[in-house]
Chain A
């Protein structure tokens, strides 16, 4: 009986050990760094022809001074950069309040053959920093409220 018990405890330890080891490997090895959810502009460029045509995701920072709005207010063009490469983007989407120069964005759309990325789904990626505004940069509340009210047909 004692032997049975010891064998059971051994089994439990072994099973748990294996499971925890597998989880630990996932958590602390570099596996995850490779599991890309979006491509950076450099990666998109490196893909070359393969990236054109199908729906892909592009992530990066909005390049300073590149934002220009179309007069009709529906189209937005800017460039996305990761420091290495930069991709011009044509977005037919209402940008969220946080959209501005230098912020991270994730775009879902297509790379055209002319090298322009067109998207209808524009997401702003926020980092894990939360800071109070500086002296003269109170957030633009009106713009924000407007954004929340505009339905843009996205699911």
Chain B
């Protein structure tokens, strides 16, 4: 537990030191928003309807960038091997890394949601925005756990930029689907009280991914790293 906190604070400190890099992740998310507004045309109505999907896609695309980065640090001077030698529990390593990634993506939430409100002229109040950000965070958590697991593997590969999205995207479909639906309900109103169900589904998948990926991480990185 103490090593988990030590690793997490290390990751966050490094993230802060390399602000420019975290910022590029944010920039990427913002560019995604812009691109979609070009793609879907100037029709405000269309943009509003597409907002949940666009938000989740922005999250998904920026997450691969962040995940690839997060293990580049560990591979640069083979620091991961040093951690394994110390020896640090790989389970602690996973949860620290996944939490750091989830936190980084979480911080994007308020900014991206606020920008979406401006770009897509959404007329929503602060409470709705907060709920959107909350859903963004749950989605981010659902991406971070399997993302960290797969990034640990693909970070060893030359083709990691292609490999990670290829493997990760289909995997997180349930999380994406639940996030999009829940965001849509938050935005357009929840006439039939479905929000709770989608939220439960999202939470359940967060839990499943965090526990299963935590168990598997030790096999994704091991000795010889």
Contact = CB atoms under 8 A, between A and B. Distances in A.
A35 B211 contact: no
Interface stretch (A20-28, A97-105, A121-129): A20-28
Contacts of B205: 22
B194 interface: yes
B191 A46 contact: yes
A19 B194 contact: no
B201 A31 contact: yes
B32 to A, nearest CB: 24
Contacts of B181: 35
A18 interface: yes
B192 A16 contact: no
Nearest to A17: B211
A22 B204 contact: yes
Interface in B172-225: 181, 188-189, 191-194, 196-198, 200-201, 204-205, 207-208, 211-212, 214-215
B106 to A, nearest CB: 21
Contacts of A54: 49
Contacts of A23: 204, 208
B149 to A, nearest CB: 13
B91 interface: yes
A31 B201 CA distance: 8
A15 interface: yes
A34 B193 contact: yes
A28 B169 CA distance: 27
Contact of B192 (A11, A12, A25, A43): A43
B215 A12 contact: yes
A43 B191 CA distance: 9
A71 interface: no
B208 A22 contact: yes
Contacts of A22: 204-205, 207-208, 211
A55 to B, nearest CB: 9
Given A11-B91, A18-B207, A31 B200 contact: yes
A25 B204 contact: yes
B211 A31 contact: no
Rank and list the top 8 A-B pairs by shortest CB-CB distance, nearest first.
Answer: A34-B197, A18-B211, A15-B211, A22-B207, A15-B215, A19-B211, A22-B204, A19-B208
Given A12-B215, A34-B193, A34-B197, 15 more contacts: A15-B214, A22-B208, A23-B204, A23-B208, A25-B200, A26-B201, A32-B197, A34-B192, A34-B194, A34-B196, A35-B197, A35-B201, A36-B194, A43-B192, A50-B188
